[in-house]
Amino acid sequence: MNLKVLVLCSILIASSLSDDGSKAFPDNFMFGVASSSHQIEGAWNEDGKGENIWDYLTHTKPELVEGGATADITCDSYHKYKEDVALLKDLGVDHYRFSLSWSRILTNGSIGSVNEAGLNYYKNLIKELKDNGIEPFVTLYHWDLPEILQKQGGWIDMFIIDTFLDYARLCFETFGDDVKYWLTFSEPKQTCLSGYGYGTMAPSVSKTGELDYKCTHNLLKAHAKVWHLYDEEFRSTQNGKISIALDSNWYEPEDDTSQNTVSAETKRQFSFGWYANPLFIGDYPEVMKTRIGYRSMHEGRRVSRLPVFTDEEIEYIKGTCDFLGLNTYTSSIIKYEKEQEIRIPWYDWDVGVKEHFASEWPSSASSWLKVTPWGIKKLLNWIKDTYNSPDIFITANGVSDDGSSLNDEIRINYYRDYLSNISSAMEDGVNVIGYTAWSLMDSFEWTSGYSEKFGFYSVDFESENRTRTAKSSVEYFKKVVLTHCLVDSCEED
């Protein structure tokens, strides 16, 4: 950083509350970018990697994926990780958030099937990152369950808890000296709600209002067990932090009538509180226990579809996050809905609200993602007030383009406006300690195939070389990372 930038930046930091809208992030604030194993690695069956539930889904039910796409090769990062680290180095980021492929490390998911080549791949990646001064930020599970474990029941069977624990222990033993930031799960709600409830994501099981709750119950126990393992056996020598990345929209009430205000809060509790309440306060939110209990009773059940934690479990799970990992992209508007007739279980009827996007909100290439920068400020403040001011690490935030141009103004505007609102939430007293942009490069977008592009770098999926090309947002993000400022006066002239 040259002197001029430094001086200008210091002035801006000093006057960061000024009316000209200039914003700044503290020196120790961490900036990074993210990806996930299944979305970028490819090499789906190379060097001993076992099949995972997304390999299986794309190979057996191509009709569920846009264009029948697979992640067999995708960005080919398994072979091109050095090139990827060079891109990260060029971006100047403090950390790189990536995930480990369970079935690359353990071919059949269980501890008896260690795959040395898989361990070596991640050892090499971590070394390359550290040699370049980039902090590895590692997710153990980003949706790619070994298929063989799904055949045994997956996240709805309790055996998974100790199977995941074995995998986590191996990862701590193997990589823990070099990894200071761990996440057990990325967006567990997507694993459970989309994977076992709606059935719109792998493993594509549709039993909403039942298996989504059961999956969550096991997953929270698995998370807590892994946190306690780290805390008791690894923390004192490895000195890292471990948490989970929860995802949520900001849910804005349609107006300030009490009915809509209550409905929006109910939605927040079902979406975010479902996980955050057990982890930060203890047990599921009251409104979930009440509503699901009531509807279960009227379905003629003896017990609620929402599983019950024992007092010991509540205590065991509570407090198992060293910070709060937050993935958020957008907002939606919530209004009251009258109680639905009770027939079959359905998560959305358990929530019991109406949800929509305002027509004036700017679109992205993803139908679920509207650009609502003000929403992140409200979400951050709500988290601070609801969960007693935890340290919040933003573990994913970003926007998609349709690939028509490398001049991705939509992304530059998105990051500028979201970061500005994050900075403003920090002025409100929210403890945000880091920010992770999704994503380093365009990649396999699950059931959307390659149609939604979230990357700073575009990838030519037609070329053998999977050529990466910088979009315009690279230059913008680089400046933010370098200066910790968002305004033009922070730039070099």
Name the site residues for ligand GBH (rule: CB under 6 A). Answer: 36, 39, 186-187, 190, 194, 200, 247, 327, 329, 367-368, 396, 438, 445, 454
| Interior angle at CA 250, CA 99 and CA 267, nearest 5 | 100
CA–CA gap between residue 135 and residue 92 (Å, rounded): 11
- Give the residue carrying structure tokens 């060079």: 86
Least distance from ligand GBH to the Cβ atom of residue 190, Å: 5
Least distance from ligand GBH to the Cβ atom of residue 423, Å: 23
Nearer to ligand GBH, 177 or 355 (CB): 355
Least distance from ligand GBH to the Cβ atom of residue 187, Å: 5
Nearer to ligand GBH, 190 or 386 (CB): 190
Least distance from ligand GBH to the Cβ atom of residue 38, Å: 8
The DSSP output letter for 51 is P
Task: Strand 331-336: give its sheet, edge to edge.
Answer: 250-253, 331-336, 353-356
Nearer to ligand GBH, 44 or 329 (CB): 329
Q: How many helices (H) and strands (E) does the chain have?
A: 19, 13
Q: Burial of 65 by CB count in 10 Å (0-12 exposed, 13-18 middle, 19+ buried)?
A: buried
- Who's near 415: CB < 8 A, 6+ residues apart? 398, 437, 473, 476, 477, 480
Nearer to ligand GBH, 22 or 443 (CB): 443
Least distance from ligand GBH to the Cβ atom of residue 69, Å: 13
Helix or strand or coil: residue 484?
A: coil
Least distance from ligand GBH to the Cβ atom of residue 192, Å: 12
304: phi then psi, degrees, rounded to nearest 5: -65, 150
First to last CA, the chain: 13
CA–CA gap between residue 83 and residue 148 (Å, rounded): 32
Nearer to ligand GBH, 269 or 364 (CB): 364
Least distance from ligand GBH to the Cβ atom of residue 328, Å: 8
Nearer to ligand GBH, 159 or 368 (CB): 368
CA–CA gap between residue 435 and residue 29 (Å, rounded): 8
Q: Which residue type does 445 have?
A: E
Please give the residue whose beta carbon sits closest to ligand GBH in the complex: 368
Least distance from ligand GBH to the Cβ atom of residue 244, Å: 13
Least distance from ligand GBH to the Cβ atom of residue 269, Å: 18
Least distance from ligand GBH to the Cβ atom of residue 223, Å: 16
Nearer to ligand GBH, 187 or 401 (CB): 187
DSSP H helical ranges for 102-234:
102-105, 116-131, 147-151, 159-175, 188-189, 211-229
Nearer to ligand GBH, 184 or 304 (CB): 184
Nearer to ligand GBH, 144 or 252 (CB): 144
Nearer to ligand GBH, 187 or 265 (CB): 187
Nearer to ligand GBH, 176 or 403 (CB): 403
CA–CA gap between residue 245 and residue 301 (Å, rounded): 33
CA–CA gap between residue 288 and residue 283 (Å, rounded): 10
Least distance from ligand GBH to the Cβ atom of residue 310, Å: 31
Nearer to ligand GBH, 121 or 329 (CB): 329
Which is it for the CA torsion 151, 155, 160, 166, positive or negative? positive
Q: Burial of 92 by CB count in 10 Å (0-12 exposed, 13-18 middle, 19+ buried)?
A: middle
As a 3-state breakdown, the chain gives helix, strand, coil percent values, each rounded to 5, of 45, 15, 40
For residue 265, give Cα distances in angstroms to 234, 261, 377, 386, 466: 38, 6, 16, 11, 45
| Interior angle at CA 106, CA 105 and CA 111, nearest 5 | 125
Least distance from ligand GBH to the Cβ atom of residue 194, Å: 6
